[in-house]
Structure 1
Amino acid sequence: MAAIKSLARTHTVHAVNTLVQIMRDKNAPAHARVSAANAILDRGWGKPLQPIASEDGKPLSLFTALSGLLSIPAIT
């Protein structure tokens, strides 16, 4: 597995260059350009945090969300 990971990493520059080419190609389908742009942003800045909502749609705090997963009652 380490060998495959290492081999894949040797192609990083080419892969990013390919994504940039697709993103900048005015003739590429919009979904391909958006997908390439998102991939570049995710690799450069990380994926954005996704909010966690309760069953009623209200956002939960990280502590509340984790306490529910760990069966620890939240302190209110």
Structure 2
Amino acid sequence: MLQFAISLGMVLLCAGGVVVLALVLAWQERAAAPDVRRRRLLWLVLPVASAVLALLLGAVFLLMAIWSPQSADILASL
């Protein structure tokens, strides 16, 4: 049962990550001038995208770990 709860949480985390990426990219594209768009890209979009993608990679790794044959040992250590 714990596997399903963690899996649901990771799916929600992935969906939230996609929403955050969409919001940040839409905000960046709404800038009036090209230089403002470039500044927004460099100072906010790229760091946020890096952090969100790192979280998504961690979520996928955790899902693969808890659904592996050794998941009982992994879940016992949590």
Same fold (TM over 0.5): no
TM-score, normalised to structure 1, is 0.36
By percentage of residues, which structure has more helix? 2
Larger RCO: 1 or 2 (CA < 8 Å, sep 6+): 2
- TM-score, normalised with respect to structure 2: 0.35
